Structure 1
Amino acid sequence: MPVLCRPAVAVPEHIVTLDETLDLARRMYRDHPQLPLALRLIENTGVRKRHIIRPIEETLRHPGFETRNSIYAEEAKSRVPAVVHRALGNAGLDAGDIDLIIYVSCTGFTMPSMTAWMINSLGFRPDTRQLPIAQLGCAAGAAAINRAHDFCAAQPAANALIVACEFCSLCYQPTDDSLGDILCDGLFADAVGAAVVRGKAVRAYGWNATQHT
């Protein structure tokens, strides 16, 4: 049966603490009628710090969609490779062993997809199948695992790589001030994660896939 191997995760270097988030909300939405409720909701999320790809001062400026999307592509290409290599190592595989790449993201857009860039840049085979998944939000990771499971269940000798790249800080909109938007500004952050689904557990050269699940 398909085996989900140990994932690899990386977070950016810029940090926003809970106290900083609350102070920002008080300053930016000081006249908002639901500010007290928003502050309570943010404080009760349990999120004590968040990691973002750019300093908070830069994040709060909105240079336009085109610029932000260019930042997304630049940062994704900079941060995805290391996470992918760690995920492959966790699975005991090389890039050439991967038969399907599933890339999930709803916070940026590239054409061709990042799957094509990874195939051309990171040593994957030219015939590696590609499945970009967008617009599923928080459900995208689960959907990706399901699709990888189905692919590997149908082809037990195959391996699938899942990559999730979300830079939620790039979606900040200064003019969005509903309660839900303020809560999202204080909850979501940025990260890259990757994991391999193998078609079956393999015991070879002292490596046991079940040790990495």
Structure 2
Amino acid sequence: MPAHIGRPETALAEHRVTTDELIEHVRATNRHPDDPSRDHRSMALWERLMRNSGVQHRYWSRPLPEVTQAAGVARRAETAFNDALALAETAAQRALDVAGLDPGDIDAIVTSHTTSWTVPGLDVHLIERLGLRPTISRMPLATLACSGGAHALVRALQYTQARPLGARVLVVVAETLSTIYHESEQTPQSMIYRTLFGDSAAATIVTGVHRGNAGELDGCIITDGFELAMPNSRDRYWGAIDAQGLHFDSTRAAARAAADALPYVTDWLGTRTVEWAGVHPGGPRIIDDVIEGLGLDTDKHGRHSHASLAENGNLGGAAVLDVLRRTYDEPPAPGAPGALLAFGPGFTVAAVYGAWA
């Protein structure tokens, strides 16, 4: 049985931070008084890396001076979770309102949230805040990071397929990725990540569809899901926690990880055609590698991913839902088959396949 993904709702954080502001902050806070020439050499490299991110500005839940303070892991984690929860509640309520649903109409909730540790998780908090049924099915996902949104769609599809009468599943993804910004870090990777990420939440309703009434719906209808933990790829990029908080790190092999994973994706697709794609905007190269690997035109079919990256930064697990939101605003032709794909630490891939109704 297929499932319908409603138009996602994205809630961006409050504080708009430009890449120019971040570059000036790095310039002002990374000084080597004993060797001024070292400043120039390092800054030239760092600025090039930051400008190559493809991000013009991003939105953070806290202003730049607060984000860059060394607050310690406990305070950072608490702040990051509370901010993610507030964004998640906003996005989820918007998704319910757009769908015309009451909280009691939802049968299951799938959440993804990686950027702070908490027990109970995002799912339990949202049940209370949104007034969902206390007996609702819960599928909380953690540590997925950038692949969280696509994984959540796979789980929602599987849940609806397991129920003959269908079901309504609320998917909510929230990340406060600004928490990985640490002023003391001075590696090339840290400069890339501090420029790349934004804070947000995104939510959508996934509804089981009877084939008889599929033609009455508008939007994205999915029929199949895919998950991959690519062999021997845990050295691509990963997260770590220390006394200062959460960090992301990677090797140079991370840049080609999405391209290396594409043969697995095309094997899954088989002879099925792809006429549009929503690709996780993890960076300009990731977008273009995947779009080209699917046999599509990067300018035409990668435009929503590039626009999301430029305007919001990489939103982690919420990013692919923001790309789908933009696809709803400029939809493919009715009946056009396509796929949504996202990539996460591990190196992992999650995707769904379907067609535009």
Q: Shared fold by TM > 0.5?
A: yes
Alpha carbons of 1:119 and 1:191: their partners in 2 closer, same or farther (altered >3 Å)?
same
Q: CA deviation at 1:131?
A: 1.3
Q: Which moved more, 1:88-97 or 1:51-60?
A: 88-97
> What's the CA shift string for 1:33-82, capped at 9, x where partnerless?
54323311221222111110111001100211111122123223333222
Q: CA deviation at 1:91?
A: 2.5
Say if 1:3 and 1:201, in contact at 8 Å, map to a contact too.
Answer: no
Say if 1:203 and 1:209, in contact at 8 Å, map to a contact too.
Answer: no
Counterpart pick for 1:152 among 157, 160, 165: 160
Say if 2:113 and 2:122, in contact at 8 Å, map to a contact too.
Answer: no
Alpha carbons of 1:75 and 1:114: their partners in 2 closer, same or farther (altered >3 Å)?
same
Q: CA deviation at 1:196?
A: 1.0
Q: CA deviation at 1:192?
A: 1.1
Say if 2:81 and 2:115, in contact at 8 Å, map to a contact too.
Answer: no
Say if 1:5 and 1:209, in contact at 8 Å, map to a contact too.
Answer: no
User: Equivalents in 1 of 2:183, 2:49: separation in Å?
Assistant: 20
Letter in 1 for 2:83: E
Aligned match of 2:7: 6
* 2:89 aligned with 1:89: no
Aligned match of 1:22: 23
Say if 1:76 and 1:165, in contact at 8 Å, map to a contact too.
Answer: yes
* 2:189 aligned with 1:188: no
Q: CA deviation at 1:158?
A: 0.7
Q: CA deviation at 1:98?
A: 1.2
Alpha carbons of 1:55 and 1:93: their partners in 2 closer, same or farther (altered >3 Å)?
same
Aligned match of 2:51: 43
Aligned residues: 210
User: Equivalents in 2 of 1:76, 1:167: separation in Å?
Assistant: 6
> What's the CA shift string for 1:64-114, capped at 9, x where partnerless?
111112212322333322211111122232211111111111111221112
1:7-156 map, 5 Å: 7-30=8-31, 31=38, 34-155=42-163, 156=165
Identify unmatched segments of 5+ residues in structure 1. none
Alpha carbons of 1:203 and 1:14: their partners in 2 closer, same or farther (altered >3 Å)?
farther
Flag the structure with more relative contact order, 1 or 2, with Cα contacts below 8 A and sequence separation at least 6.
1
Say if 2:180 and 2:194, in contact at 8 Å, map to a contact too.
Answer: no
Q: CA deviation at 1:115?
A: 0.7
Identify unmatched segments of 5+ residues in structure 2. 32-37, 221-327, 329-357
| Alignment RMSD | 2.2
Q: Percent identity?
A: 31
* 2:177 aligned with 1:176: no
User: What's the secondary structure of 2:82's corresponding residue?
Assistant: helix
> What's the CA shift string for 1:110-154, capped at 9, x where partnerless?
211121111123111111111111111211111111111111122
Alpha carbons of 1:201 and 1:189: their partners in 2 closer, same or farther (altered >3 Å)?
farther
Aligned match of 2:173: 164
User: What's the secondary structure of 2:196's corresponding residue?
Assistant: coil
Q: CA deviation at 1:202?
A: 10
User: What's the secondary structure of 2:197's corresponding residue?
Assistant: coil
Alpha carbons of 1:198 and 1:69: their partners in 2 closer, same or farther (altered >3 Å)?
same
Q: Which moved more, 1:157-166 or 1:39-48?
A: 39-48
Alpha carbons of 1:24 and 1:202: their partners in 2 closer, same or farther (altered >3 Å)?
farther
Say if 1:201 and 1:209, in contact at 8 Å, map to a contact too.
Answer: no
Q: CA deviation at 1:201?
A: 6.8
User: Equivalents in 2 of 1:201, 1:8: separation in Å?
Assistant: 24
Alpha carbons of 1:100 and 1:28: their partners in 2 closer, same or farther (altered >3 Å)?
same
